[in-house]
Amino acid sequence: MKAAVWYGAKDVRITNVPEPAVQSGTVKVKVEWTGICGSDLHAYHHGIGIQTGTLHPLSGQMAPLAIGHEFAGTVAELGEGVTGLVVGDRVTIEPLIYCGACIYCRQGRYNQCEQFGFIGLNADGGFGEYVIVKPYMVHKLPDNVTLEEGALVEPTAVAFHAVRESRLKVGGDAAVFGVGPIGLLTILSAKAAGAAQIIAVDVSDERLEKARQVGATTIINAAKENAAESIVALTGGVDVAYEAAGAQATFNDAISVIKKGGEVMVIAAFAKPATIDLMQLMVKEANVTSILAYRHIFPEVISLIAAGKLDVKQVITKKIALDRLVEDGLELLIRDKSQAKILTKIQPE
């Protein structure tokens, strides 16, 4: 079968690999659509986040690996003992690898597992024609949810988890710093949660226009005006600022624009350690919170997409073939800031 295999930084090869065989207690999925995530970009451009050097304790795999963790497809084969699924089921995959036995897993916080990992980073993933997953990772899709939308459930879950865990209430005001795919999905999620005002901040006019389309009530280009001053002038301070850019400057602004008792919710991964103005935080009696991935949320996200409450199709800006993943995906996303979510068609036409 064909797969996009990571061998090293700047070295992802579209190549033929053996088709994986289903084992007892596993599910074989025929992948149809896979999204490109920021973590895929980090793995490709910087070699960050991929399993190298040692086998992952749960997956038993390490690089070279097929990347990709935002994907949907159909059930191709069931291993012995798997119930609740049939061949042909349309499914999306919750790609978290966890042990189920550590203290965090026993508390239901499986995204905090001591051996936490991801399909596509710590095991072969969705940029391959077939992938083997555990049954707990498999979520059926309703008939009115497309496989393209199914591939967007995973990144939507990140944004929705951030909004659900934040202090945002119906009628509250929010600011979203960074309107790449996760920022756009955060706007959609905040809108679904009943936010009155949603201010989007970025340095790309194209992305900001997309933010307006998905529900931002105000857009601010931070390269052209002082974003913090504009937000405070408009709102007097927001209830929650979502940091989806992963930069010191936007983190500083996020703290500046929250009202007293407000919250900064950090969603983005920071490449460098960030500093924080604790005095400003103390004076406001405000919180800085963060999330990692998601937990217990895929069914709700799927239901909201099916009900039309989360129109995730709006964040798709390009669809490509697997053969063009590097040139028209992993490389293009660095150069072209007008792009949001690029979906890859995995099966040949």
What's the CATH code of the domain at 239? 3.40.50.720
Asked if residue 341 and residue 276 are part of one domain, the reply reads no
How do residues 265-278 score in pLDDT, each as one tens digit? 999 998 889 999 99
**Number of compact structural domains in the chain:** 2
Asked if residue 168 and residue 78 are part of one domain, the reply reads no
Tokens 């099916």, located at residue = 306
Q: How far apart are CA 57 and CA 50, in angstroms?
A: 14
Instruction: Judge whether residue 328 has pLDDT over 90.
Output: yes
Asked if residue 164 and residue 135 are part of one domain, the reply reads no
Average pLDDT, stretch 239-259?
A: 98
Asked if residue 187 and residue 124 are part of one domain, the reply reads no
Domain presence at residue 302: no
* Confidence (pLDDT) at 271: 83
How do residues 139-193 score in pLDDT, each as one tens digit? 999 999 999 999 999 999 999 999 999 999 999 999 999 999 999 999 999 999 9
Half-sphere exposure in the Cβ direction for 126 (13 Å, CA): 31
Instruction: Judge whether residue 248 has pLDDT over 90.
Output: yes
How do residues 40-90 score in pLDDT, each as one tens digit? 999 999 999 999 999 999 999 999 999 999 999 999 999 999 999 999 999
The pair phi, psi for residue 45, each rounded to 5°, is -80, -30
Instruction: Judge whether residue 349 has pLDDT over 90.
Output: no
Closest residue by Cα to residue 211 from 191, 237, 194, 228: 191
Asked if residue 266 and residue 210 are part of one domain, the reply reads yes
* SS3 category, 15: strand
Q: Largest Cα–Cα distance in the chain?
A: 62
Asked if residue 245 and residue 161 are part of one domain, the reply reads yes
Domain presence at residue 299: no
Model confidence, pTM: 0.97
Q: How far apart are CA 150 and CA 148, in angstroms?
A: 5
* Confidence (pLDDT) at 341: 97
Q: How far apart are CA 290 and CA 243, in angstroms?
A: 9
How do residues 284-298 score in pLDDT, each as one tens digit? 999 999 999 999 999
Domain that holds residue 27: 2-140+311-345
Instruction: Judge whether residue 337 has pLDDT over 90.
Output: no
Q: Where are the alpha helices (DSSP H) in the chain?
A: 38-46, 103-106, 147-150, 153-165, 181-192, 205-214, 227-235, 248-257, 278-284, 298-306, 325, 332-335
Asked if residue 245 and residue 340 are part of one domain, the reply reads no
Domain presence at residue 227: yes
Asked if residue 6 and residue 84 are part of one domain, the reply reads yes
- Mean pLDDT over all residues of the chain? 97
Domain presence at residue 221: yes
Instruction: Judge whether residue 128 has pLDDT over 90.
Output: yes
Asked if residue 34 and residue 76 are part of one domain, the reply reads yes
